[in-house]
Structure 1
Amino acid sequence: MTKTTINRPAAAMPWGLLLAALSGVAQAASTVPTPPAPPSTASAAIQACRGSSQWLAGAAKSDITGPMVDSSTGYTEPGITMNGLQTRLYARGFVLESPCSGQRVAYVNAELLHTYQSIKTGVIRKLAAKLPGVYSDANVMIVGTHDHSAPSNTSFRTLYNLANGVIGFDDLNYNIVVDGIVDTIVRAHNARRPATLALAKGTVANAAFNRSLPAYQANPDAADYSSNVDTTMTLLKMTGADGQPIGAISWFGVHGTSLDKDAHVVDGDNKGQAALRLEKTVGGNFVAAFSNAPLGDVSPNQPDPANPGGDFLRPHNLDSSLSAYDDARVHGERQYAVALNLFNTATSAITGGLFYKHQFVEFQNIPVSPAYTGGATGAATCTAAIGAAFVSGTEEGGTKLIASLKEGSLTYQGIPINPLIPPALQKCQAEKQVLLPVGDVSGFWVSNIPWVDTIVPFQVFAIGNLGLVASSFEQTTMSGRRLRNALKPTLAVMGVNDIVVPTIANAYHQYLTTREEYAVQNYEGGFTHFGPWSSAAFIEHADIVARALVTGGSLSAGPTPPDLLSAQVVHTPIETWGVVNDEPPSGKNFGDVVTDAAASYAMGNNRVSVTFWSAHPRTAQIRQREGAVPAGFSYLEVQRWNGSAWERFATDGDPYTRFLWQRVGGSLSAQSQVTVQWDLDLAPPGTYRLVHNGVAKKWGLLGPTYVNFSGASRSFKVQ
């Protein structure tokens, strides 16, 4: 891999050194944690379940596809919005129960950009009504895939609803996501049956690249590893006592940025594509979840040898036969292939009981023990703040708000980025040039509610000899390695010999870098909210929770994050005003064809494209939630002639179909068109047609009326 260069203004390094000196933190030569000795013995309950192989397992999958039009993408760039759908998004839920320990957990892998605290809060609130006393913050883990092609605007916090393509909170998207996750947990709970669990590990090649090499190489323990990313995939296989497959969860750390911001389509990205492929291969009701592990500095895209430090290359940049829409499918195939092999060969039985612990911690301005800082004294976290490196963007090709500001620059043209920042905050944040204090906005905002969540959830599951240490952060590779290494002796006491770190779990707190990586102030360090000792503080508190799990000790619940649903004042424009009116041109009807298919197409690398007069797609989702549109509604269908009738061959959930919407006649026009595309890569010969379905909203004297419509292309041959 080509080493990424770093560009620093001449005056940057002296300023950075001055800040480090003023920070009052005595840095050790290495900040690798050296935790105290682990507990001597595990609790009696844990010991009683050693060797137990009895499990109950259930799995389910629910659609959580939010608004695919007039919604933000996962790239924080104003004006960049969604305008179509490539694959639907899903929450895949698993409920595991140990008859020996009598405990139960729910694990959900959701195709989301971020698992905001707002999502977890809404899910727990609704689960309490559906399954009273069964699930809580403690035994539910919701993990986001960090999909940058998923609609956003679902956080209770201003920052994440402000730094988007559109501004504000979207009730429709929020409720679709929360209700979908609740549905998948309830159905997985009801599907529990006797099962065996097995674990397997393998290497995923050519699927992950470190996008922040200067920061990674600053770690004194970098030389201890053969790779600057973690190439290991860990897979948990669930099989019914009848031998039928129930599901699988795999963990592999990589960003969900295979599709770039210019694709504008909702898509499950590499992990969603891999999941669809594995589910189709295994068949039946099998549920496959591809979860993330430490991914903060890990890209699925490749460095450009001709432009070190520049944007990384996606598959379509490397292969002219591919389009930008193919990138997630190509990357997903690499994870799918390894997961399929692990699923077919998993024989290492999971034994022991099931146990869990959870605690909330107010993470601002808390001390960090020297045992977790490499011996440095006086360390503490800080009031949450964003650094200047945020506006420099990343190698993924996202926002670069100041083009000449590079990652690692500690000043801009020799001066501090924001000289109005309080000296105490700047001192605590050390090398970071503080741009905005998002943890305390009382000095510049209309309310004193922080722009980010400052309460961090700590959660550890022990599923027999497998440990899951949830992280609400985007942990870098080395931050994750240090966490696992620190907790390994602790959890080994209870028989855990494999630890994975599901990331972007239960809430979202931006990045988590090591102390050395933080000092370099690449993008990831600039977005490590709580200052230079954030990773050390996280490891310390995760270890506290893990020790209580091992010994059976009690933990205070900690401060419950506030439910701010009713406090959302600013909503997205489409949420505020709604779909005003849909109207086709004079003489045309909804569903009429504008541009038709050709008479025939060659098999293989080819594409069919048909354009229809249409309506705003948000209306169909609203009507579906009202029960006026069936649950299996699809915006498009590929239909195949079977000799006597048209039958459904593919829908808008198929990775090879695409639904693209556009307004016609300006932003205030009621006219719109939809283009339905179908890539023929795997299509067998036959006669086909493309169908578009929709719901239009029309205003009359007595208010809105709704028109369900459908349109079909000409028939065409694939040969």
Structure 2
Amino acid sequence: MEFPSFDHLNVWRACANVRVWILFLLLLLLKSDIACSGSDYLVGLGSYDITGPAADVNMMGYANTGQIASGIHFRLRARAFIVAEPNGNWVVFVNLDACMASQIVKIKVIERLKARYGDLYTEENVAISGIHTHAGPGGYLQYVVYIVTSLGFVHQSFDVIVNGIEKCIIQAHENLRPGSIFINKGELLDGGVNRSPSAYLNNPATERRKYKYNVDTEMTLLKFVDDEWGPVGSFNWFPTHGTSMSRTNSLISGDNKGAAARFMEDWFEQKDYGKTDSVVFEDDVLLRRISNIIPSRHDNHHELLELATSFQSPPGRPVSKTSSVAKRVRSAHRKVDKPRFVSAFCQSNCGDVSPNVLGAFCIDTGLPCDFNHSTCGGKNELCYSRGPGYPDEFESTRIIGERQFRKAVDLFNAADEEIEGGVDFRHAYIDFSQLEVTISDQGYSEVVKTCPAAMGFAFAAGTTDGPGAFDFQQGDDKGNPFWKLVRDMLKTPSKEQTDCQRPKPILLDTGEMKKPYDWAPSILPIQILRIGQLIILSVPGGTILSPSL
């Protein structure tokens, strides 16, 4: 039983209206004075540890009360980039090795940044997103449904994430220097499969014909280049779930995206950057080569550099300098002041994209699961998907991480399209429980309304990445009298809510459950960052990029 991200919150009927809101925000961006090209940027990147409590804390993602942390596979990090116009707007994007972002985390981060920088960083120009790993400590969100399996709020989890985000933004701020940004995109075909192919087939054939595959296969990468030091980092977006590690795993891990980030950063740190011009893979060995996309300095480089160094972060000492131990271990041959390379593998529109690419099989018979309901003899808890390293989930994590890493290296080295233009941002809160949506079909038009969130019986069945318990099934549109009785002990859905959610039978009426406090959000933030022709749309469940309008 997997916790819902944005695409699991049963707000599909609001999609048309959301597009209207997004279009409205984009029009505001277009009307702003950011159309100039050839602008110079100040660019800074940072990274900080957010591993959190490594024992006796429930993990976030699978909603499995028995999945309690008992060690560390590899540590988690927050990674940030800042892009600023020298005398204009600033935007910040933070990628977390965590299941998802949290509004209460962002509120506390903005409070700290405000105390340090005044009004430079606000909720409007700071976007925070998670990679959707299901192997990180839980208990850091503010709604009951997200922390029920961790038995409430876990201050240790919360505090380390807030601290790590603040520190990585400070580091990025301290590293601000004149630089350029390049963008590239390409296809990765073996990074994920559709874990609900039968559901996908319910889409109209006219819509399915628009796409070659039943999952999104595109990776988009940003390459950050310091005018003096050369490349200093990369952020890429690709959709695949952080579920290479199973629901029985008890080791903290960044899963496949966290592994990919480590691979990319280690690859860059270990090579002599600047001597060759491409990457070649031979017998699983990376020949250490590099792109020649290193722009010459801008005419006003010294002026920009002086401006960048004037942005300080009192109180406290700068965090961009590495310790002597770190220099000896990882950076013996680099200059002390050069910022460490930061690479983030961000989550995109992952929806039903699974990294367990071998498919779903019954653990009792070894046969494929039922195609329509993902069950084995009628039982969903026997149906599990398999990663490419099956039965070793650590190997599956490595393989899917390495596939993303290798594609990112290709895109990194070939990136030659420079982003030019101004920097801007828009932010809005949208009540998804009160949206009016116009549905049109072959001349017929109807206005309907969304309703508060609710979890259906199919939700409790989980997915093939992490099946639920008991007798729940995916695709259940009828419900079960026993579980309805159990539901009514918590909250009986109103007739209006039942009619609004039909044909989905309600298992938990989370949108209307308010004791001891809200069980699920109704008002959600929609955030847009613009850097030149690049649009970054951030919502609670992930991030979507558009290289141009």
Judge same fold: TM > 0.5, yes or no: yes
The Cα of 1:32 is off from its aligned counterpart by 11
In the other structure, the counterpart of 2:350 is 295
In the other structure, the counterpart of 1:95 is 82
Q: Relative to structure 1, is the Cα distance of residues 397 and 416 closer, same or farther in structure 2, using a 3 angstrom cutoff?
A: closer
Q: Secondary structure at the match of 1:378?
A: strand
What does 1:63-78 align with in structure 2 at a 5 Å threshold?
A: 63-73=49-59, 74-78=61-65
In the other structure, the counterpart of 2:496 is 424
What does 1:375-454 align with in structure 2 at a 5 Å threshold?
A: 376-398=445-467, 400-402=468-470, 404-412=471-479, 417=484, 420-442=492-514, 445=515, 447=516, 449-454=517-522
Which of 177, 195, 203 aligns to 1:219? It is 203
Aligned partners of 1:316, 1:71: CA distance in 2, in Å?
27
Which of 514, 532, 544 aligns to 1:464? It is 532
For the 8 Å contact 2:478–2:504, the answer to whether it is kept is: no
Q: Secondary structure at the match of 1:85?
A: coil
Question: Computing the radius of gyration over CA atoms, which structure comes out larger, 1 or 2?
Answer: 1
Letter in 2 for 1:339: A
The Cα of 1:223 is off from its aligned counterpart by 1.8
Aligned partners of 1:68, 1:34: CA distance in 2, in Å?
40
Q: Relative to structure 1, is the Cα distance of residues 237 and 82 closer, same or farther in structure 2, using a 3 angstrom cutoff?
A: same
Which of 392, 395, 403 aligns to 1:334? It is 403
In the other structure, the counterpart of 1:156 is 142
The Cα of 1:157 is off from its aligned counterpart by 1.5
The Cα of 1:262 is off from its aligned counterpart by 1.9
For the 8 Å contact 1:95–1:106, the answer to whether it is kept is: yes
In the other structure, the counterpart of 1:43 is 31
In the other structure, the counterpart of 2:272 is none
Query: Gapped runs of 5+ residues in structure 2?
Result: 1-11, 270-330, 332-339, 362-366, 375-382
The Cα of 1:177 is off from its aligned counterpart by 0.6
Aligned partners of 2:115, 2:16: CA distance in 1, in Å?
46
Letter in 2 for 1:425: Q
Which of 368, 388, 395 aligns to 1:307? It is 368
In the other structure, the counterpart of 1:85 is 72
Which of 135, 140, 163 aligns to 1:179? It is 163
- Residue by residue over 1:495-553, the C-alpha shift from the partner in whole angstroms, topping out at 9 and shown as x without a partner, is x626xxxxxxxxxxxxxxxxxxxxxxxxxxxxxxxxxxxxxxxxxxxxxxxxxxxxxxx
For the 8 Å contact 1:465–1:497, the answer to whether it is kept is: yes
Aligned partners of 1:371, 1:95: CA distance in 2, in Å?
42
The Cα of 1:243 is off from its aligned counterpart by 4.6
Which of 361, 364, 368 aligns to 2:437? It is 368
In the other structure, the counterpart of 1:199 is 183
For the 8 Å contact 2:360–2:386, the answer to whether it is kept is: yes
Aligned partners of 1:261, 1:229: CA distance in 2, in Å?
23
- Residue by residue over 1:161-201, the C-alpha shift from the partner in whole angstroms, topping out at 9 and shown as x without a partner, is 10x2x311111111111011011111101211010110011
In the other structure, the counterpart of 1:258 is 244
The Cα of 1:217 is off from its aligned counterpart by 1.9
- Residue by residue over 1:194-251, the C-alpha shift from the partner in whole angstroms, topping out at 9 and shown as x without a partner, is 1011001111121111011122222221221000111110000000112521111100
Q: Secondary structure at the match of 2:437?
A: coil
Q: Secondary structure at the match of 1:235?
A: strand
Letter in 1 for 2:215: V
For the 8 Å contact 2:82–2:173, the answer to whether it is kept is: yes
For the 8 Å contact 1:33–1:373, the answer to whether it is kept is: no
The Cα of 1:41 is off from its aligned counterpart by 10
Q: Percent of counterpart pairs with the same letter?
A: 31
Aligned partners of 1:468, 1:31: CA distance in 2, in Å?
19
The Cα of 1:33 is off from its aligned counterpart by 9.5
Query: Gapped runs of 5+ residues in structure 1?
Result: 1-24, 489-495, 499-719
Aligned partners of 1:190, 1:40: CA distance in 2, in Å?
31
For the 8 Å contact 2:232–2:341, the answer to whether it is kept is: yes
Q: How many residues matched?
A: 439
Q: Relative to structure 1, is the Cα distance of residues 89 and 375 closer, same or farther in structure 2, using a 3 angstrom cutoff?
A: farther
Q: Secondary structure at the match of 2:449?
A: coil
Q: Relative to structure 1, is the Cα distance of residues 372 and 352 closer, same or farther in structure 2, using a 3 angstrom cutoff?
A: farther
What does 1:516-531 align with in structure 2 at a 5 Å threshold?
A: none
Aligned partners of 1:272, 1:382: CA distance in 2, in Å?
36
For the 8 Å contact 2:16–2:438, the answer to whether it is kept is: no
Q: Relative to structure 1, is the Cα distance of residues 39 and 335 closer, same or farther in structure 2, using a 3 angstrom cutoff?
A: closer
Aligned partners of 1:185, 1:370: CA distance in 2, in Å?
43
Letter in 1 for 2:97: E
- Residue by residue over 1:297-352, the C-alpha shift from the partner in whole angstroms, topping out at 9 and shown as x without a partner, is 1100021473133321123326xxxx332221111000000001111110011011
For the 8 Å contact 1:64–1:177, the answer to whether it is kept is: yes
Q: Relative to structure 1, is the Cα distance of residues 175 and 44 closer, same or farther in structure 2, using a 3 angstrom cutoff?
A: closer
For the 8 Å contact 2:390–2:396, the answer to whether it is kept is: no
- Residue by residue over 1:122-165, the C-alpha shift from the partner in whole angstroms, topping out at 9 and shown as x without a partner, is 11111111211111110000010011011111112111110x2x
Which of 169, 172, 189 aligns to 1:188? It is 172
* C-alpha RMSD over aligned residues: 2.9
The Cα of 1:374 is off from its aligned counterpart by 9.8
Please say if 1:497 is aligned against 2:509.
Answer: no
The Cα of 1:421 is off from its aligned counterpart by 2.3
Q: Secondary structure at the match of 2:498?
A: helix
Aligned partners of 2:268, 2:350: CA distance in 1, in Å?
28
Aligned partners of 2:53, 2:265: CA distance in 1, in Å?
25
Aligned partners of 1:160, 1:153: CA distance in 2, in Å?
7
Q: Relative to structure 1, is the Cα distance of residues 354 and 397 closer, same or farther in structure 2, using a 3 angstrom cutoff?
A: same
For the 8 Å contact 2:483–2:507, the answer to whether it is kept is: no
Aligned partners of 2:30, 2:132: CA distance in 1, in Å?
35
For the 8 Å contact 1:235–1:251, the answer to whether it is kept is: yes
- Residue by residue over 1:427-480, the C-alpha shift from the partner in whole angstroms, topping out at 9 and shown as x without a partner, is 1112211111112225xx3x4x311222210111111111111121369xxxx7
Aligned partners of 1:109, 1:40: CA distance in 2, in Å?
26
For the 8 Å contact 1:392–1:401, the answer to whether it is kept is: yes
- Residue by residue over 1:89-108, the C-alpha shift from the partner in whole angstroms, topping out at 9 and shown as x without a partner, is 000011111237x1001111
The Cα of 1:415 is off from its aligned counterpart by 8.8
Aligned partners of 1:372, 1:97: CA distance in 2, in Å?
45
Letter in 1 for 2:52: G
In the other structure, the counterpart of 2:377 is none
Please say if 1:126 is aligned against 2:112.
Answer: yes
